[in-house]
Amino acid sequence: MKRNTIVRMLLVSAVMFTIFGASFAQMSEVADPIPYPEGVQLGDNPIVRFNLDEMLMYAALDSYSEPAWVTALVEAGELPPVAERLPENPQVILESGMSTGPGVYGGQWRDFSAVPTEGWNLCARQTQGWFGINYIYGEQLVKSGPMFLRKDNLEPLPNLATDWEWSEDGLQLTMNIIRGAKWSDGHPFGVHDIMFTWEHVIQDDNVDSWTTGSTFSIGGEPITLEAVDDDTILWTFPVPFPVQQLFNMDFLDFNICAEHVYAPMHPAINEDSDYDTFKTFQVQDDLPVPSMGPWVATDYQIDEFMVMRRNPYYWKVDEAGNQLPYLDEVTFEKGPSGIGRTLGTLAGSIDHTNLENPSTYVEAITRAQEDDAHFRIEWGPETLAFNIQFNLSATLGVEDERDGVLRELFRNQMFRRAVQHAVDGDGIGQAVIRGPFMRGFGGGIVPGSPYFDIDSVVYYPYSPDSASALLAELGFEDTDGDGIVNWTDGPLAGENLVIVLNTSVAAEATGQIGEAFVLLMQDVGVQVNLRPLQGPAGDDAIVSGRWEARVNRIGQEFTTSFTRCRDLAPITTTTPAWHRADGDSRDMLDFEVELVEIVEEFCLEPDFNARAELMSRYNQIFTENVYNVGGIIGRYGLALAKRFNNIPVGSPPFFYQWTWGNVIPEAVWVNPDEQLEQIFPETVPVYDDMGM
C-alpha cells in the first residue's frame, strides 16, 4: 500500500478524534474562531516546584566527605585534602529540593552521542558532541536548565555567580563570584577567567564564539563588564533593569574559558599564535582538558567511545558535606544517528533517550511496560510543536515573476487563514501517531509555556468549506476542471495554484506532516509538492530566501519566550526565519510592526506578570493573523534508567535546556546493588601540571 494512501486512510479515520469539524462551515460561509481546547495530560508525575532557598545555598560547612577511594589518593599524596579542593563557600544542593534525597557514591551513567567531537574549545564554538557532553564540560555564570523547578521567580539559578544585586536605578548589576573554586586540574578559578572570556572571546570579533559583542548590546548601545575585585564583577546597561540579559550568561552564551589554558594560545596575547590555532589546539583525544563540570573526559576513542570521570575539584556538595557528583563515571557511545540512542535505551545498553520523534513513541512506551525494561518514561509539558511556515519576505530569494506573485499571496492574511481552515490538526496528529499524543495547534506560544494564555488563541477550526470560500474570494477558481484552482489574473493567469513545501529528512515527523498537508490542501484545490531536504540544504534555503513553504518544529522562543525574545518578531536581520531581512531592508506587514513593539517592550520588562500580559497580546495578534499556520502540538518524552535516583519529578527532556541541563546530574545516584561495572574504576583525571 502506498504511503499517501495510508496517510489518507489515517486522516479519514481520525475524524472521530476531531472535536471540531467541517460542520462549522454549515453555520456561515467562513467559520468564526472557536475556543482552543485544553490538552490531555500524559503520565502521572506533574512537576514538583520549589523556592530557590529550598534548592540550593552557598555556605562553608563544618566538614566534607568524598568517596573512600578518593581519600586513598589523598593519603597517597596524589590529591590535596577535600576541604582544600573545595571553594570557601561551595554550592550546597539541599535535601528539601531533592526528589529522593542524599545519595551514595559509585555507579555509572551510560549515554550516546550522534555528533562528532570536533574538539574541546567550546569557547570558540567547537562542539564536544552535544547529546549532553557539552553540558557536562561547560559551566557558566548562571544556569537556566533547572528553572522549570522554580516557583518563586522565573529567573536563572545561581551557578558560578553565587548571587547578584541591581542598583537602585537598575543600570548596574553587581555579581558575586564563588570564592576559591578550582578547575579540574587544580588551577584557581576566578574573575580573571571571566574577564578573559569577556575581553578575548566574546568581544573579539576574530573568535567564532557563541555570542559576540552585539549580543551584549541593547538598542545598539553596548553593555559593559568590569572586574570590581577578585570575587566581584559589575555589569553596566544602557537601560534600567534588563533582566532578560541574565539569559545571555548561561549555557553557550557565556561559557567561561580557563585563562591559564587559553591565554597562551590567544593571538592578542601570544604573537606567535593565530586564530585558527587558537580554535583548534584542543584536539579530540588529547585528554584530559580542564573543566569546571562534574565529570571530565579522560579517554576518547574517536567516533567510538568516550569516558568521563569524576572531577575531584568539583565545587558542589550536599547538605552532609559530601562532595558531588555521586556518580563516578559517565560514558558516551558514538554513532551516526540519534536513533541509536533510542535503540540502545530500548535494548538496555544506554540509560537515556529523548522521545522527540513521535514515530518512536509507541515502541518506547510498549518496551517501558515490559517487566525487564530498565527505563521509565516521563512526559514533559506540551512544547513539541510543528507549524507550516510561508516565506513572507517580499524580496529575499525572489528570482522571477512566479516567486513575486507567490510572496504577495503568502503575505495576504486571507490566504494564510484559508490554509489554516484547510488543516485538520487533530487528524494530522492521528496520522503521525494514533492516541492522545498529538493534537491540533493554533500556532504561536505553545500550551506548555509559562507565557501561554489559552484565551489569547484565535483558533480557526478545520473547515474545508471556509478554506474554499476564502480562496474564491481571493480570485481562485478551478477553470480547467482538474480539481486544482487556477490563478484567474496576473502573470500566472490560467496556471494551477502550486506550492512547494520543504520538509526535513532528519526530522521524520515533518515528512509525515507534509504528506498529510498535501492531501488536505488537495481537498480544497491547492497542489502542494513535497521537497525533502537534508539539514544543510534546508539551512541554505532559509539563508538565501529561496523557499516557498516548510514544515518546521518550532523553536525555544515559543516556549521560554523571555530567553529568546528577539527571535519572536522581525527585530534582528536573521529572525524570524520565515521573514528574514534582504540585506538591510525588510517590508514588514502592519501586524508585524505591532509585534515588534510588543516584543521590544517584552524583552526589557522585569516583571513576569507584565511580560505575561504582553505575550497574551502578542499571541492574539500572531494567531489572528496566522503568522504561522498551526500544525500539531504534543509532548517530548524523557526515557531514563529506573536505577537513577534524584531525577527531579516531571523533568522535561526540553524546556529551558535539554535533558542534561535539566536533571541536575551531579545529584543523581544509584543504589549499590544496582551499580554497573565502571570502565576506569577509582581513577581521576591526571594532568601534567595539577596546580597543587
State which H helix or E strand residue 364 sits in. helix 361-368
Q: Give dist(CA 189, CA 181) in Å, integer.
A: 5
Signed CA dihedral, 206, 207, 208, 209: sign only: negative
In this predicted structure, what is the pLDDT of residue 43?
A: 64
In this predicted structure, what is the pLDDT of residue 1?
A: 45
Each residue's pLDDT tens digit, 186-239: 999 999 999 999 999 999 989 888 887 777 888 889 999 999 999 999 999 999
Question: Which amino acid is residue 267, in one-letter code?
Answer: P
Provide the pLDDT confidence category of residue 4 given band limits of 50, 70 and 90: low
Which stretches of 9-58 are assigned E, i.e. beta strand?
A: 56-58
Domains in the chain, CATH or no CATH each = 63-346+657-674 (3.40.190.10), 381-635 (3.10.105.10)
Closest listed residue to residue 57, CA positions, set 22, 96, 23? 96
Q: Give dist(CA 14, CA 424) in Å, integer.
A: 9
In this predicted structure, what is the pLDDT of residue 28?
A: 46
Within 10 A of 392 (CB to CB), how many other CB atoms are there?
Answer: 22
Q: Over 70: is that where the pLDDT of 515 sits? A: yes
Q: Over 50: is that where the pLDDT of 266 sits? A: yes
Provide the pLDDT confidence category of residue 21 given band limits of 50, 70 and 90: very low
Please say whether the beta carbons of 327 and 646 come within 8 A.
no
Q: What is the mean pLDDT of residues 522-548?
A: 90
Please say whether the beta carbons of 606 and 411 come within 8 A.
no
Q: Each residue of 496-518: b (16+ CB within 10 Å) or e?
A: bbebebbbbeebbbbbbbbbbbb
Cis omega (within 30 of 0) for bond into 672: no
Please say whether the beta carbons of 675 and 106 come within 8 A.
yes
DSSP string computed for 130-199: STTHHHHH---SEE-GGGGGBSS-SSPEESSEEEEEE-TTSSEEEEEE-SS-B-TTSPBPSHHHHHHHII
Q: What is the mean pLDDT of residues 7-35?
A: 56
In this predicted structure, what is the pLDDT of residue 295?
A: 98
Closest listed residue to residue 225, CA positions, set 250, 252, 253, 197? 197
Closest listed residue to residue 164, CA positions, set 141, 144, 188, 146? 141
Q: What is the mean pLDDT of residues 320-343?
A: 93
> What's the number of CA atoms in the CB half-sphere (13 Å) around residue 539?
4
Question: Bridge partners of 629?
Answer: 388
In this predicted structure, what is the pLDDT of residue 208?
A: 84
Residue 177: CB partners within 8 Å, gap ≥ 6?
160, 161, 162, 190, 191, 194, 231, 232, 233
State which H helix or E strand residue 657 sits in. none
In this predicted structure, what is the pLDDT of residue 433?
A: 87
In this predicted structure, what is the pLDDT of residue 20?
A: 41
Query: Dihedral of the CA atoms 193, 198, 201, 203 (nearest 10)?
Result: -160
In this predicted structure, what is the pLDDT of residue 30?
A: 95
Q: Give dist(CA 562, CA 474) in Å, integer.
A: 37
Q: What is the mean pLDDT of residues 297-324?
A: 97
Q: Each residue of 448-482: b (16+ CB within 10 Å) or e?
A: bbbbbbeebbbbbbbbbbbbbbbbeebebebeeee
* Cell 587544580, located at residue: 186
* Cell 589518593, located at residue: 73
Question: What phi and psi values does residue 201 have, to the nearest 5 degrees?
Answer: -120, -65
Q: What is the mean pLDDT of residues 27-44?
A: 81
Please say whether the beta carbons of 358 and 433 come within 8 A.
yes
- What 3 state SS string does 302-316 have? CCCEEEEEECCCCCE
Q: Give the chain's mean pLDDT.
A: 91
Bigger pLDDT: 16 or 320?
A: 320
Please say whether the beta carbons of 581 and 265 come within 8 A.
no
Q: Over 70: is that where the pLDDT of 5 sits? A: no
Residue 208: CB partners within 8 Å, gap ≥ 6?
124, 125, 279
Which cell goes with 409? 499571496
Closest listed residue to residue 342, CA positions, set 320, 366, 322, 315? 366
Please say whether the beta carbons of 470 and 530 come within 8 A.
no
> Pairing relation of β-strands 498-504 and 352-355?
unpaired
Q: Lowest-confidence range among 27-41, 116-130, 367-381? A: 27-41
Please say whether the beta carbons of 460 and 33 come within 8 A.
yes
Please say whether the beta carbons of 665 and 648 come within 8 A.
no
Within 10 A of 489 (CB to CB), how many other CB atoms are there?
Answer: 8
Q: Over 80: is that where the pLDDT of 23 sits? A: no
State which H helix or E strand residue 297 sits in. strand 295-301
Q: Over 80: is that where the pLDDT of 42 sits? A: no
Q: Each residue of 536-561: b (16+ CB within 10 Å) or e?
A: eebeebbeebebbbbbbebebbbbbb
Each residue's pLDDT tens digit, 604-660: 888 889 999 999 999 999 999 999 999 999 988 899 999 999 999 888 888 888 899
